[in-house]
Amino acid sequence: MRTSSTMRTHRTVKKATRGVTSRAANKAAKRTTRTAATLAAGALALSLTACGGDDGDGGDKGGQTGGGKETAATVTLPKLDGESLEVAAVWTGAEQENFKKVLAEFEKRTGAKVTFVPAQDPIINFLGSKIAGGAPPDVAMLPQPGAIKQAVDKSWAKPLGAEATKELTENYSQGWQDIGKVAGKQFGVYYKAANKSLIWYNAQVFENAGAAEPKTWDELLTTAQTVYDSGVTPFSVGGADGWTLTDWFENVYLSQAGPEKYDQLAKHEIKWTDPSVKEALTTLAEIWGKKDYVAGGASGALQTEFPASVTQTFTGGDQPKAGMVYEGDFVQVNIGETDAKVGTDAKVFPFPAVGDTAPVVSGGDAAVILEDSKASQALVTWLASPDAAAIHAKLGGFLSPNKNVDMSAYPNEVQKKIAEALVAAGDDFRFDMSDQAPQAFGGTPGKGEWKALQDFLKNPEDVAGAQQRLEADAAAAYGD
């Protein structure tokens, strides 16, 4: 999740993937990797341009999906009368409330009592304090593969049992299964995913400006200038939340440097002082460093939290604070807090290609068992089922990597097409880079990559300094 206010849910499967290519890769590598990535990104682009308006309010229809189809039980759960469970996650607001409805259905089917425990970032530190106090939650929703590995290394996480593993195998592609494994054992179920290669825009602003949806980075710069010339600041950036900045970087880097370099940097097999990082930061500076291209300037962006970066793009009539905001599919939750309608007032296009092909970056939140029991295994089995995902899907602002979720569960055509594209991509995408890093580098507010990119947003001319800070922090976190 990184997923919503803390969604880094929200952060494209890395090992068995064949991702996007770039002009930086050699021609032979391009030929071997281009086809799959083009299909994945192309499917996303085709899906989004084919989207219509909101075809429903996505409300609870009493056992029905968003399309009105009866939801049949697809998973068998044990009776757990008298059992109590705690589930910890960093989710807040609508995201938390919607997840509680999924837990309520589990309670109804099993007789167990489930309590949601609000966690703080970084969640590993939060869990450490709970475990030290002798009161760990039974299940935790972890937003990074690195956090799963840490939980395993600390002997906190427990492997999935046979029923949960069976449900996972039936409903998920191999790549989504693998990202939840540590040393070959299955520890995580990626319940919630995020498509993090999207730019949302105010349709009225684009219409007034005569702006077009771009397909390349150069076209994005042209679109931004067109919006600027119409009297509206082009971009809203939630710089107070460092994870939004890592997401910007990852999309540029994946498309420009290519999947092989992306995987190497994610593992710190190449340094952040590498020329490919310099090129990506220089490219980012074409927007971050352009005068009056970011709402509030750098100082304003650094005081803008993610939810506000979205809502300020879709409020203020035809003079909002910005015309565009970059982030994942989960932006829809925040758009829902405004009067804008997804698909009509609020539209979306894929993150433009910086290199040869557009990036396809995803993230997710995985359910991990900390207290092994019949009840906790049953809950994770439930979260791996299409039944659980369908309940959450129809509430909006949710994307599941579960390939057996009926697409009619999604409440509008935009979300439906984004989900279809994610499932169709299979393993041909990359998981959020910062979520693969040790949490000290890629997932801690005010430290590591988050802080280094916030400093870079403040001073986009200092590319070399940003690289040096990133490398120093990465080396310390990776233990190099």
User: Digits of tens for pLDDT over the chain (480 positions)?
Assistant: 344 333 433 333 333 332 333 333 333 333 333 334 444 444 454 445 444 333 333 333 333 333 334 456 899 999 999 999 999 999 998 889 999 999 999 999 999 999 999 999 889 999 999 999 999 999 999 988 888 999 999 999 999 999 999 999 999 999 899 999 999 999 999 999 988 999 999 999 999 999 999 999 999 999 999 999 999 999 999 999 999 999 999 999 999 999 899 999 999 999 999 999 999 999 999 999 999 999 999 999 999 999 999 999 999 999 999 999 999 988 988 999 999 999 999 999 999 999 998 888 998 999 999 999 999 999 999 999 999 999 999 998 899 999 999 999 998 888 888 888 788 877 767 899 998 888 899 988 999 999 999 999 999 999 999 999 999 999 999 997
Which residues, in sequence order, are bridge partners of residue 189?
367
What's residue 360's pLDDT? 85
* Region of 467 on the Ramachandran plot (φ > 0 left; ψ -120 to 50 alpha; else beta): alpha
| C-alpha dihedral, 233 to 349 to 238 to 144, nearest 10° | -170
In this structure, are residues 323 and 201 in contact, taking their beta carbons and an 8 Å threshold?
yes
In this structure, are residues 98 and 392 in contact, taking their beta carbons and an 8 Å threshold?
yes
Give the 3-state secondary structure of residue 223: helix
CA distance linking residue 192 with residue 7, whole number of Å: 10
β-bridge pairing 84-89 and 139-142: parallel
In this structure, are residues 261 and 429 in contact, taking their beta carbons and an 8 Å threshold?
no
What's residue 13's pLDDT? 33
In this structure, are residues 381 and 387 in contact, taking their beta carbons and an 8 Å threshold?
no
Whether residue 122 is preceded by a cis peptide bond, meaning omega within 30 degrees of 0, is yes
50 Cβ contact partners less than 8 Å away, ≥ 6 residues apart: 417
Q: Is pTM beyond 0.75 here?
A: no
In 3D, which of 471, 14, 13 has the Cα closest to residue 268?
471
* Region of 90 on the Ramachandran plot (φ > 0 left; ψ -120 to 50 alpha; else beta): alpha
Say which amino acid occupies 102: V
What's residue 60's pLDDT? 35
In this structure, are residues 370 and 127 in contact, taking their beta carbons and an 8 Å threshold?
yes
C-alpha R_g of the chain: 21
In 3D, which of 122, 130, 125 has the Cα closest to residue 87?
130
In this structure, are residues 338 and 314 in contact, taking their beta carbons and an 8 Å threshold?
yes
CA distance linking residue 334 with residue 340, whole number of Å: 10
Question: Residue 3 has which token pair?
Answer: 């997923």
What's residue 72's pLDDT? 63
85's enclosing H/E stretch is: strand 84-89
* Structural domains of the chain, with CATH: 84-195+362-431 (3.40.190.10), 198-359+437-478 (3.40.190.10)
Give the 3-state secondary structure of residue 221: helix
Count other C-beta atoms under 10 Å from residue 104's C-beta: 12
243 Cβ contact partners less than 8 Å away, ≥ 6 residues apart: 2, 8, 11, 306, 434, 443, 450
What's residue 335's pLDDT? 94
What's residue 256's pLDDT? 97
Write the burial class of residue 290 (CB in 10 Å: 0-12 exposed, 13-18 middle, 19+ buried).
Answer: middle
What's residue 200's pLDDT? 97
